[in-house]
Structure 1
């Protein structure tokens, strides 16, 4: 979209402010919120291209907050490689002409993510299974990322199940999200979906995203994380349902 109407710019700014706020409070959720809201107004591939730069900046910020980056990379590099491979393989579907599949896929991923967070109990992965599961989780996360632009499933539940410390978990999610963002950018660029206008607007979206993240970080100290997480997941589930059924009622 080359002509930036005020309403279009306002929608993008508000979306990334809210997405940054959610990430500031919970440590995740920026791509989920941004893709879910923007895909209700523009195509999923355009939404994904707008997501790239603010997602990369905020994820690198999160990635650099811990002290064990090299240790975590050594432990999970196979998973990160799987994310790259899966994303590049799946991105062709996101950039294809059939927008119905992309919208339904995105909506379904949001619904599954919400239901998992609301109704399933935390689980743990024994160390002996980590070497086997990491590449599978990586490729699966990459495929979902490539098709929908969302890279939280199944990576986040898996990382939570590894028994990492709080700081290591936040840093590891930053690592996974950063790799996913880079891989998605490569997939979009390969298919020619990165237009100059999208890059410029994506860069401008950094400002509201960072402001929202800063506000969310401050608010996190004053509200119960469980309450916020529950409301967030319900919102994501409703948004996913709307996206999944919307193409069939046009």
Structure 2
């Protein structure tokens, strides 16, 4: 992003400010919002590269704040290993020149996530199914991450379906997002995308992301989270539809 126009820098900073704000409000959504907004003005591989440092720092923060890291890792390591393998295996997709396909995939992923978030249905994973289902969900999440730069499908609905306590769920999401970020960074670096100027720009993007996160945490105490969550998913649905249709036209 050498010699980047000031207007584009402003858009990138605003995208990360808003993405951090959403994460501060509801505990997730930074990569989803950032990829969705940046996908409007940047190639998906560039957008995913900018996401690496802000996503890693905020998710390690979320992971470290939880109460039972060791127990969660012991339970979820098959899923985490599969996320890493799936992301690494598919990372070349974002790094190729087929940006139109990547934008379509991103738009569809955002729409699916929004529909799941707006749905009143709540699923539960039986205890006996977790041992074989976790690796499958991990691989699927890794492949979706590699194709879109978004970490949430199907990892978030699956972790929510495990019946974890609130704090354990937040920490489990932080663990999943951290593994996804590290694997995506490794894959993009392997393909020569996440390096040099983009790596430096990703570090700079941390400031607006953290600022937005602090603002979101402050406002969370003053706004009903349910209302904000519904508006978030509706906005995500519109954004995802726009990205998918734009890349097809």
The TM-score range, normalised by the shorter chain, is over 0.9
2:248 corresponding residue in structure 1: 248
1:187 to 2:163 alignment: no
2:229 corresponding residue in structure 1: 229
What are structure 2's unaligned runs of at least 5 residues? none
Shift of 1:67: 1.7
Contact kept, 8 Å, 2:104 with 2:248, in 1: the verdict is no
Shift of 1:44: 0.3
Calculate the TM-score normalised by the size of structure 1.
0.98
Shift of 1:119: 2.2
SS at match of 1:97: coil
SS at match of 2:41: coil
- Measured in 2, the distance between the counterparts of 1:248 and 1:78 equals 36
Calculate the TM-score normalised by the size of structure 2.
0.98
| Alignment of structure 1 residues 43-192 onto 2, 5 Å | 43-192=43-192
- Measured in 1, the distance between the counterparts of 2:238 and 2:136 equals 29
SS at match of 2:96: coil
- Cα RMSD (Å): 0.9
CA distances 1:191-223 after superposition (whole Å, capped 9, x unpaired): 001131111111011011001101111111111
- Measured in 1, the distance between the counterparts of 2:157 and 2:119 equals 13
- Measured in 1, the distance between the counterparts of 2:9 and 2:57 equals 20
4+ runs deviating over 2 angstroms: none
2:18 corresponding residue in structure 1: 18
- Measured in 2, the distance between the counterparts of 1:51 and 1:91 equals 15
How many residue pairs get matched? 249
- Measured in 1, the distance between the counterparts of 2:86 and 2:191 equals 15
Shift of 1:120: 4.5
- Measured in 2, the distance between the counterparts of 1:8 and 1:103 equals 19
